[in-house]
Structure 1
Amino acid sequence: MKVSLKYYTIKYLIMILLLIIAVWAGLFYAYILDEVHDNVDDGLRDRKIQIIKAVYLNPQLLKNNDFGFNEFKINPITEKEYQNKSRLYDKMFYMEYDDKDQPYRVLEADFIDQYKNPQRLVIRTSTVEEDELIYDLTTALVVLYILLVISIIAVNGYLLNKAMRPFYLILKKLKKYQFGIPFSQEEQKYSITEFEELNKEINEMIERNELVFYQQKQFIENASHELQTPLAIVINKIDLLIQNDNLDKKNLNFLTEVKNDLRRMVGLNKSLLMLSKIENSQFNKTSGIDFNTLVTHLVQNYADFIEFKKVKVNILEKGMFIADFNQDLADILLSNLLKNAIKYNNEEGTLNIMIENNRITFQNSGIPVSLDESKIFTRFYKHTSDHTSTGLGLSIIKTIIKQYPGWEVTYKFEDKMHYFMIQKNRI
């Protein structure tokens, strides 16, 4: 799934920050916990020293064999039980106030009293407050972690939106740009150097492309127009030769074939020029076109051709197809579809033109096999051996449709009938 640069950046930034903050929070928690334990242990060690000193001053303390108010006890031990090192550990003791066991930190230390007897000093201190501190610390860390992540996402989202705004403006400008259409190059200043340079390079690239486009367009138009004149002259000269009574049948047939080839060249030249003009967006003016009326007029205009082919034409109006379209392109579009449906129809065949609110369908009889759907709209594709065809009629239709977003032309073959459909989709 594709995402925008902004969300792509935020996604990986969040993943990295989550990991970094989680590691930091863990280390911070461990450090604070260690400091709390060290503080408690240091207090116990200090109390040990103070109690042993007090024992030497007051021997009565040796009789303190149970934990009392001072939270320590002293019990005699054997020499085998005596250990030089102090021991620190955690242990649960019953607490009357809560009526349950609570955690304590305990220090055991062995010493020799003033009577040369080994004694074991056990000091304890409640760690209930320590546990509450750790719980509060954990809660605070979790809340801080969540707030940090939310804050970072919000701040980065805001900063990325602000920083990427020039990029989206440049992208919007590129989306609107089309060859041959005047392009607004308003002076825009960007605070980010890279976007300023990008905008400058894009403007220069567009100027270069427009120059090349204009030169190519002029060359194609000039070449096509220049070809029309000599071709027309040659055809007229051949007509004069054909009218010569001294020509035998063989030469007459030869000249007729040459004339037909030249006429085909003229048609090919006109079609290529038309394709160039359409692709160069030279038919920009649009208006509301009544396709129902246009189809009716075209059928009337091609009445002689229809009668010659003995094709039965039926116009079935199931709705009103009115759309914003260029008048010339609409004429070319429907004319090519109509001519194609008549020319390649069977003699005494059928042509049904169905008009709906957003679709026109040309249904015609013809060769009893499907055409190649992957190639039918490509240039110079021919599905018959007809040498008079330029192979550009359907390509022109496809090129016209491409000029209008939301429109499409499709082909299908069903029940030995060919269907060409023009449809305007809602966008």
Structure 2
Amino acid sequence: MKSSLKYYTIKYLIVVLLLIIAVWAALFYAFILDEVYDNVDDGLKNRKIQLIKAAYQDEKLLENTDFAFNEFKIVPVSEADYNNRNKFYNRTYYMEYDDDDEPYRVLETGFKDQFGGYRKLTIRTSTVEEDELIYDLSIALVVLYFFLVVSILFINGFLLNKAMRPFYKILDKLKKYQFGVTSPPIAETYKISEFEELNVEIDEMIERNELAFHQQKQFIENASHELQTPLAIVINKIDLLIQNEDLEEKSLNSFVEIKNDLRRMVAINKSLLMLSKIDNSQFNKVQIVNFSEMINDLLKEYEDFIEFKHIDVNVLEKENFVSDFNPDLANILLSNLLKNAIKYNNEKGNINIIIDKDQIIFQNSGSKKSLDKAKVFNRFYKQSSDHTSTGLGLSIIMSIIKQYPNWDISYEFEEGMHYFIITKNNKSLSN
């Protein structure tokens, strides 16, 4: 699932922060525990000095051979076991009040008493329970992490929204931009240099694209018009030659073939010009178009062709098909579909047009084989060996549909019938 730049950044920031806090917590725990033991050890060493002094003054302390409320004991040892170095270690002792073993820090050392005997002094003091320390520290860190995340979401959300506002304005300008639809540039100043540079580059890119678009448009129109004139002249001259009674039948047939090829060139030229105009979004005017009415009007226009091939046409209008669309493109779209259904139909064939609220289906009889679904809307793809076909009719239909992202067209073949299905979303699309 895709997310915005703001939440993408915050997501990784939160994950990295969690790792940093985990590492920091481990180091902090080790540091605190070391400080606790260091302070406790200092206290035990001070206590050792005080107890040895007290034992020299009061020999009764030497009889304290077991831990009592004073938390120390003095036991005699042999000279071989005597060691006056300080030895620290952790150990648990059973406590009646808690009815559990509690952690203690213990100091063992040796000293000579006033009688020259060797003694071992053991002092203990209660310390923090590590498991409780870990638990309390974990709770504190979870609370800290929660508040940090909430703070980051709030602060970064506010700051990123403010910082990214120019970016969204630039993005919105790009979304609204269309080839051939120029709007006066609005001077914008940005506090962030990268956005300022991005805006300048986009304005320059749009200017270059517009220049290239108008040059291409002018070239295509000029080339098309320049080709149409000589083609028309050549066709007229051929017509004059065909009318010459002195022509042999072989020559006459050759001229007829040349004339048909030239007419096909004219049709291809017009179709390519139309494709260029559609792809360059030159049909920008949008209004509410009643497709149902337009289909009925087109059927009247093609009535002679339908009768000539004795085709049976049935229109099933379940609901009215109305949408925001360019009226010229709508006429070209439906006209091409209807001509396709008539031209490639059989003598005494059938055409069924099913109109629903969000779908129009053109069904026609014809070839008993399915067309190639992957290529049927490609340019110059031909349904048959008909040399009069330009192979551009269905590609023009696809180019029109592509102008409306919420629209789609598909081809199916079932029970000897060819289906061309136009569908759109429930929401009307406006350019």
Q: With structure 1 as the length reference, what TM-score do the two structures score? A: 0.93
Give the Cα separation in 2 of the matches to 1:357 and 1:289.
13
Distance 1:152 1:25, change over 3 A: farther
Deviations 1:73-120 (A, max 9, x none): 222223233223222223333445445443322222211101011122
Following TM superposition, by how much is the alpha carbon of 1:348 offset from its aligned partner in structure 2, in angstroms? 1.1
Give the Cα separation in 1 of the matches to 2:130 and 2:411.
80
Give the Cα separation in 2 of the matches to 1:130 and 1:412.
73
Pairing of 1:1-400 with structure 2 (within 5 A): 1-127=1-127, 136-400=136-400
Deviates more, 1:61-70 or 1:328-337: 61-70
Distance 1:167 1:86, change over 3 A: same
Give the Cα separation in 2 of the matches to 1:92 and 1:332.
92
Give the Cα separation in 2 of the matches to 1:263 and 1:100.
105
Distance 1:288 1:142, change over 3 A: closer
Give the Cα separation in 1 of the matches to 2:264 and 2:239.
15
Following TM superposition, by how much is the alpha carbon of 1:134 offset from its aligned partner in structure 2, in angstroms? 6.7
Please say if residues 102 and 129 of structure 2, whose CA atoms lie closer than 8 Å, have aligned partners that are also in contact.
no
Please say if residues 93 and 103 of structure 2, whose CA atoms lie closer than 8 Å, have aligned partners that are also in contact.
yes
Give the Cα separation in 2 of the matches to 1:134 and 1:54.
38
Deviates more, 1:251-260 or 1:161-170: 161-170
Give the Cα separation in 2 of the matches to 1:353 and 1:255.
40
Deviates more, 1:56-65 or 1:170-179: 56-65
Count of equivalent residues = 427
**Secondary structure in 2 matching 1:360:** strand
Please say if residues 108 and 122 of structure 2, whose CA atoms lie closer than 8 Å, have aligned partners that are also in contact.
yes
**Secondary structure in 1 matching 2:272:** helix
Give the Cα separation in 2 of the matches to 1:248 and 1:287.
56
Q: With structure 2 as the length reference, what TM-score do the two structures score? A: 0.92
**Secondary structure in 2 matching 1:423:** strand
The amino acid that maps onto 2:230 is P
The amino acid that maps onto 1:80 is A
Distance 1:157 1:251, change over 3 A: same
The amino acid that maps onto 1:239 is D
Distance 1:114 1:320, change over 3 A: same
**Secondary structure in 1 matching 2:411:** strand
Deviations 1:337-373 (A, max 9, x none): 1111111001111111111111111111111000011
Following TM superposition, by how much is the alpha carbon of 1:62 offset from its aligned partner in structure 2, in angstroms? 1.9
Distance 1:235 1:312, change over 3 A: same
Give the Cα separation in 1 of the matches to 2:221 and 2:45.
102
Deviates more, 1:291-300 or 1:2-11: 2-11
Deviations 1:113-136 (A, max 9, x none): 010111222222222589866764
Give the Cα separation in 1 of the matches to 2:52 and 2:319.
108
Deviations 1:52-86 (A, max 9, x none): 11222222322333434432222222323322322
The amino acid that maps onto 1:175 is K
Distance 1:188 1:113, change over 3 A: same
Distance 1:214 1:141, change over 3 A: same
Following TM superposition, by how much is the alpha carbon of 1:306 offset from its aligned partner in structure 2, in angstroms? 0.9
Following TM superposition, by how much is the alpha carbon of 1:11 offset from its aligned partner in structure 2, in angstroms? 3.0
CA RMSD of aligned residues (A): 2.2
Please say if residues 18 and 149 of structure 1, whose CA atoms lie closer than 8 Å, have aligned partners that are also in contact.
no
Identity of matched residues, %:
68
Following TM superposition, by how much is the alpha carbon of 1:384 offset from its aligned partner in structure 2, in angstroms? 1.1
Give the Cα separation in 2 of the matches to 1:336 and 1:51.
110
Please say if residues 179 and 213 of structure 1, whose CA atoms lie closer than 8 Å, have aligned partners that are also in contact.
yes
Give the Cα separation in 1 of the matches to 2:392 and 2:138.
76
Deviates more, 1:402-411 or 1:145-154: 145-154
Distance 1:25 1:392, change over 3 A: same
Give the Cα separation in 2 of the matches to 1:132 and 1:263.
94
Unmatched tracts of structure 2, length 5 or more: none
**Secondary structure in 2 matching 1:210:** helix
Deviations 1:194-249 (A, max 9, x none): 11101100110110010010011011111111222222222222222222222222
The amino acid that maps onto 2:59 is P
